Every structure is written in C-alpha cells, then in structure tokens.
Amino acid sequence: MPLQLRIIAIIFAISFFGLTINLVRKDRAEVRHMRKWLLLAVIMIFGALLPSFGSRIAQSLGILNFTSLALFILTGVLLVFSLRYQIFLIDLEKENKVIIQELSLLKQKVREMEQEKTNQ
C-alpha cells in the first residue's frame, strides 16, 4: 500500500472513529447502534497501520493487493448494514400502520361512547 494511501486511510479512520464517538457523546446515537461503526473504524486503522499483514491475507485469498481486498470487504459490509436497516425500516412501517389503525379504532369507540352519553 503506498504511503500516501496509508496516511489518507489513517486520517480517515481516526476521523471516522472520532465522529462516531462524538455522536454517542452528544446523544445523537446509541452505543448499541454505533458499535459496528466503531469496529469498522478500528479495522480501518489496523489495516492502515499494518498493510503487510493485510497484503498477506489478500494474497493468500488470490487477490492482488490489500486495497482491493479492503474495498471488497468494506463494500460487502456496507451492503449488509444497508440491507439490515432497510428490513428494520420496513418492520417499523408495518408497526406504524398497525398503531395508526388501532388508534383510529380507539378514536371511533371514544366518539361512539361520547355520543351515547350525550343521547342519554
């Protein structure tokens, strides 16, 4: 891995790590959701500081260099995260629909009860 790319990767990883810590500290994100991003930042720092180790892993897998392996793995990880959040969003939309329906039924019952009270 070229020195310039290592420096950029270290700066990016440390910045990303700092951003995730800052989001948790300012209560804009929960630790349980940010753990995977913190782990990703640590892996990026590790890969940037020890590129020879990553290169050996890449070559043992038949990939020419560590950069290609890292891009492939990070893209796969981000796709998995995206899919998980999409499924989570779909589940929330379904729950929201059920809650709205239940609320509408409750409002209707309250109106009916108020009408019965006024008619008596």
pLDDT in tens, 47-88: 888 888 888 988 999 988 887 888 888 899 889 989 999 999
Residue 116, φ and ψ in degrees, nearest 5: -60, -40
Using only C-alpha atoms, the chain has a radius of gyration, in whole angstroms, of 25
pLDDT at position 4 over 80 = yes
DSSP-assigned letter for residue 105: H
| Closest of 10, 9, 12, 29 to residue 21, by C-alpha | 29
111 vs 64: CA distance, rounded Å: 71
Handedness of CA 41, 42, 45, 51 (dihedral sign): negative
pLDDT at 87: 95
Question: Percentage of the chain with pLDDT > 90?
Answer: 42
Please give the model's pTM, rounded to 2 decimal places: 0.63
